[in-house]
Structure 1
Amino acid sequence: MKRGLVIGKFMPLHNGHIALINFAAAQCDELIVSMSFTEHDPIDAELRFHWIKATFTDKKIRVEKITDNFDNESLALDARTALWAPVMKQTYPPIHILFSSEAYGEPFAHHLGATHVAFDPSRSQVPVSATKIRQQPFRYWEHIPAVVRPYFVKKICFFGPESTGKSTMAQRMAAHYHTEFVPEVARELLTSNDFTLDDIAAIGHAQYNRVIEKTQTANKLLFCDTDAITTQIYSRHYLNAVPEIVHELEHKVTYDLYFLMDIDVPWIADGLRDLGDHREKMLHVFRAALEQRNIPFIDVRGSYEQREAVVRKAVDAMLDSGRG
């Protein structure tokens, strides 16, 4: 039995990690992939563990996680890895080969009593690091595996009263940026404005589920016609109450950019819209909802062409920064 070891935080898992693990697995009877974590990591440990498990289904690859409470970053690599080795020996069966792309590989292998095999230490095959991806995910998008990409998708919400162009803008922007959009799911569930709190709860769940679904296939950006705050506003307006679940759902999805759509475009009736005489009041309600939550937003007003220019300028800046 020839057993190998790959260690890392995988924060996030990227194509360089995948290449390393596949390289190592090809040379072992069993490969242990050990993911270290702390409670303070910027990416949740269970999510990272899921990414690795979902990516590597070969039974010879054994994915494990270990609490990172045995390191001392103030030490030189030889002394640091001397702390790691006893923990690994106590945790895992005997390791024969350590695979790595890092400078710690040689001293760590020595303390393990294992052979070190380096893989692409210059990162010429996959020129990326987890730190670079966290800092600028869009710049390194091609190096992020499909299972990880949804974590970095930026959700953009078009927010505001009825008949302000939110649906059209979401669709147009999705087409322009070659990605997905989420419609106002309430319109698929309602035929009139005669609804109940149970209906509102169902709308909240459906909207949330559609966002999660579309995030899985979005290309960097996801344009959303509405959000849970909007559902709360209309529930309060029509029913004087809001189901608790809709408040809970608000905190389960974070939108990275809000556009507040002004009412300086014609109001168009469509069967469900009935607030044409209350547009200014509703715009104030929507604006106040964002301000009360300290959510930054960009005002969008003017002609449809001017509105699209405002949106594209802000989205392009997000893409150009690479940060998302």
Structure 2
Amino acid sequence: MTLGFVVGKFYPPHRGHKHLIDTARRQVDRLVVLLPHHVTQKIPGEVRKRWLEEIHPDCEIHLVPDELENDSEQWAKFTREYLGRSPDVVFTSEDYGPGFAEHLGCRHVMVDRLRQTVPVSGTLVRREPLSHLDFLEPCVRAWFVRRVVLSGAESTGKTTLAALLAREFETAWVPEYGREYWEAKVAGLSMDGPLPGWSSEEFVTIASRQQQREELAARSANKVLICDTNAFATGLWHERYLGHRDERVDAIGRADSVALYLLCEPDFPFVQDGWRDGERIRDWMHGRFVEELAKTGVETVRLRGPLEARVREAKRAIEAVLRKPFDL
């Protein structure tokens, strides 16, 4: 059985790495991919390992601490000890490859050293991730796409704005799953009559499903993903209906990746669309959004006035977010 070996930081994994690993996998019976992670790297090693496992399910992905110098002889010694033997063949796209293989006492295969087959590098991606999204697999792409969330009480124009902004930026948007869930829950009932109650488990489901839909949409979004609410907001709706917070819901909300919140002000009359029940507490809910968003540390822009003014201010804020460099 032929054992192949690939080592790299994959910071982040891009299609050049995919070409390297795919090429290696076709030539061996078993391929081990070693991912050394250093504590100073901003994309956690566990995240990169998970990405590689999704992209290359037929390879063995191993995460190890990056504690050695850039010395081929040291890494060859570590590799032999880690694997319990030398691999039969090492695949690289770097100049260190032949020397590394020589220290291991195995064959070396150079793959696309000049980046002609896949013209990209980790340095280019880190410098301008949003300009190189097409060189990233969907799971990696989703990590870099900026998430912009429309937030606020009922009847403040969030859904209308989300759809308009998605068209403006030629990207995807994620509708509010809680709204979909509520419509199914009260189908056939009058909003003026008794309405069914809520359970914490329902809010856990709503928050989880909202987040899952965002993750899926981010995989194909164009630089920015517009979200009509998010799991963070679900915690506030739990408070509104049940009178207290739920740590399970809040934990899902804390996991949200948000670059910008757009908080819609309730400065126009409440519109009853046949499904809403929050007219009496709209101002209270808005106040709670103001309070809780301030705790997140995420930039929040408050949108006021007529629709045209809101779109204009939202576009300005999103364009500013897209210009911000990534901390990599």
Is TM more than 0.5 here? yes
After TM superposition, give the deviation of residue 135 of structure 1 in Å: 4.1
| Match status 1:160 vs 2:152 | yes
How many Å separate the matches in 1 of 2:63 and 2:212?
A: 32
Partner residue of 1:251 out of 233, 251, 254: 254
Q: Secondary structure at the match of 2:35?
A: strand
Partner residue of 2:209 out of 195, 206, 209: 206
Deviates more, 1:26-35 or 1:298-307: 26-35
Contact 2:259-2:298 within 8 A present in 1 as well? no
Contact 1:179-1:221 within 8 A present in 2 as well? yes
| Uncovered stretches (5+) of structure 1, i.e. residues with no partner | 74-79
Q: Secondary structure at the match of 1:49?
A: helix
After TM superposition, give the deviation of residue 65 of structure 1 in Å: 0.9
**How has the CA–CA distance of structure 1 residues 137 and 90 changed in structure 2, closer, same or farther, with 3 Å as cutoff?**
same
Kindly report which structure 2 residues correspond to 1:280-291, keeping only aligned pairs within 5 A, or say none.
280-291=283-294
Indicate the residue corresponding to 1:6 in structure 2: 6
**How has the CA–CA distance of structure 1 residues 246 and 137 changed in structure 2, closer, same or farther, with 3 Å as cutoff?**
same
How many Å separate the matches in 1 of 2:176 and 2:294?
A: 22
| Match status 1:141 vs 2:144 | no
| Match status 1:64 vs 2:55 | no
Q: Secondary structure at the match of 1:147?
A: helix
How many Å separate the matches in 2 of 1:229 and 1:10?
A: 31
Indicate the residue corresponding to 2:115 in structure 1: 123
**How has the CA–CA distance of structure 1 residues 30 and 211 changed in structure 2, closer, same or farther, with 3 Å as cutoff?**
closer
How many Å separate the matches in 2 of 1:28 and 1:274?
A: 62
Indicate the residue corresponding to 2:23 in structure 1: 23
Letter matched to residue 42 of structure 2: P
Q: Show CA shifts across 1:150-198 (max 9, x none).
A: 2223221101122111011112222333433222222222225642233
Indicate the residue corresponding to 2:74 in structure 1: 83
Q: Secondary structure at the match of 1:148?
A: helix
Contact 2:35-2:63 within 8 A present in 1 as well? yes
How many Å separate the matches in 2 of 1:230 and 1:57?
A: 35
Q: Secondary structure at the match of 1:175?
A: helix
Indicate the residue corresponding to 2:42 in structure 1: 42
Contact 1:197-1:243 within 8 A present in 2 as well? no
Indicate the residue corresponding to 2:266 in structure 1: 263
Partner residue of 1:109 out of 89, 101, 105: 101
After TM superposition, give the deviation of residue 56 of structure 1 in Å: 2.9
After TM superposition, give the deviation of residue 206 of structure 1 in Å: 3.4
Indicate the residue corresponding to 1:177 in structure 2: 169
Give the TM-score normalised by structure 1. Answer: 0.83
After TM superposition, give the deviation of residue 217 of structure 1 in Å: 4.2
Deviates more, 1:38-47 or 1:176-185: 38-47
How many Å separate the matches in 2 of 1:21 and 1:205?
A: 33
Q: Secondary structure at the match of 1:126?
A: coil
Give the TM-score normalised by structure 2. Answer: 0.83
Deviates more, 1:85-94 or 1:19-28: 19-28
| Uncovered stretches (5+) of structure 2, i.e. residues with no partner | none
**Identity of paired residues, percent?**
32
Indicate the residue corresponding to 2:321 in structure 1: 318
Partner residue of 2:199 out of 194, 197, 200: 197
How many Å separate the matches in 1 of 2:181 and 2:51?
A: 34
Letter matched to residue 293 of structure 1: T
Q: Show CA shifts across 1:111-133 (max 9, x none).
A: 12234333333323333222432
RMSD, aligned CA: 2.9
How many Å separate the matches in 2 of 1:260 and 1:304?
A: 13
After TM superposition, give the deviation of residue 26 of structure 1 in Å: 4.5
Contact 1:262-1:301 within 8 A present in 2 as well? yes
Q: Secondary structure at the match of 2:139?
A: coil
Contact 2:158-2:228 within 8 A present in 1 as well? yes
Partner residue of 1:237 out of 240, 244, 250: 240
Contact 1:157-1:259 within 8 A present in 2 as well? yes
**How has the CA–CA distance of structure 1 residues 123 and 209 changed in structure 2, closer, same or farther, with 3 Å as cutoff?**
closer
After TM superposition, give the deviation of residue 259 of structure 1 in Å: 0.6
